[in-house]
Amino acid sequence: MRPCDETQPSATEPLLRTAEHHDVVAAPAGDDVDEHARKHLEYRLYTSHTLSAWNSRLFEFGAVLFLASIFPRTLLPMSVYALARSLCAIVFAQPVGAWIDRGNRLSVVRASIIGQRLPVAASCGILWLLECRLDSLAASSVVGVLALLCALAGAEKVFAMANTMAVERDWVVVMTEGDDAWRRAVNARMRRIDLLCKLLGPLVISITATASTQVAIGATVAMNVSSVLFEYICIAKVYWSVAALQNTAAEIRATQDPSASSMAAQVKAFVAAVVPISSFAAYFRHPAFLPSFSLSLLYLTVLSFSGQFITFLLSMGFTPFHVGVARTGSTMIELSATWVAPRLMNHMGPIRGGIWSLSWQMICLTFGLSLFLRDGFGADTKHTWTSVAGLILCIALSRLGLWGYDLCAQTIVQEEVGDGSRGAFSSVEASFQNLFELVSFATTIAFSRPEQFHWPLVISIAAVYVAGGLYAFFVRRRRGHLFHPPACLKAGAER
Residues 6+ apart with CB under 8 A from 430: 89, 93, 97, 161, 165
Q: Which helix (H) or strand (E) holds 239?
A: helix 228-241
Asked if residues 451 and 381 have their Cβ atoms less than 8 Å apart, the reply is yes
Asked if residues 383 and 254 have their Cβ atoms less than 8 Å apart, the reply is no
How far is the C-alpha of 158 from the C-alpha of 166, rounded, in Å?
12
How far is the C-alpha of 57 from the C-alpha of 219, rounded, in Å?
14
How far is the C-alpha of 357 from the C-alpha of 364, rounded, in Å?
11
Give the start-end residues of each E strand in 104-261.
none
Q: Give the C-alpha distances (Å, rounded to integers) separating 135 from 70, 212, 213, 256, 270.
A: 10, 18, 16, 63, 46
- Buried-exposed string 375-413: b where 16+ CB fall within 10 A, e elsewhere: eeeeeeeebeeebbbbbbbbbbbbbbbbbbbbbbbbbbb
Q: Got the DSSP string for 68-122?
A: HHHSTT-SHHHHHHHHHHHHHHHHHHHHHHHHHHHS-HHHHHHHHHHHHHHHHHH
Note the pLDDT of residue 490.
53
How far is the C-alpha of 100 from the C-alpha of 89, rounded, in Å?
15
Note the pLDDT of residue 488.
54
How far is the C-alpha of 372 from the C-alpha of 383, rounded, in Å?
7
The helix/strand count (H/E) of the chain reads as 18, 0
Nearest to 3 by CA among 484, 490, 483, 480: 480
299-302 contacts, C-beta under 8 A, 24 or more apart: 299/432, 299/433, 299/434, 299/436, 299/437, 299/440, 300/436, 300/437, 300/439, 300/440, 300/459, 300/460, 300/463, 301/440, 301/460, 301/463, 301/464, 302/440, 302/443, 302/444, 302/453, 302/456, 302/457, 302/460
How far is the C-alpha of 158 from the C-alpha of 343, rounded, in Å?
33
pLDDT along the chain (495 residues), means of 10: 41 39 38 69 93 91 82 73 85 86 90 93 92 79 89 93 90 88 90 89 83 89 91 92 78 47 51 58 90 94 80 78 82 91 91 94 94 73 81 94 94 86 85 89 81 88 96 89 60 50
How far is the C-alpha of 358 from the C-alpha of 275, rounded, in Å?
34
CB atoms within 10 A of CB 189: 16
Helix 31-70 / helix 213-226 crossing angle, nearest 10 deg: 150
Q: Which helix (H) or strand (E) holds 473?
A: helix 454-479
Note the pLDDT of residue 131.
86
Nearest to 313 by CA among 251, 220, 242, 396: 396
How far is the C-alpha of 138 from the C-alpha of 134, rounded, in Å?
8
Residue type, 290: L
Asked if residues 360 and 404 have their Cβ atoms less than 8 Å apart, the reply is yes
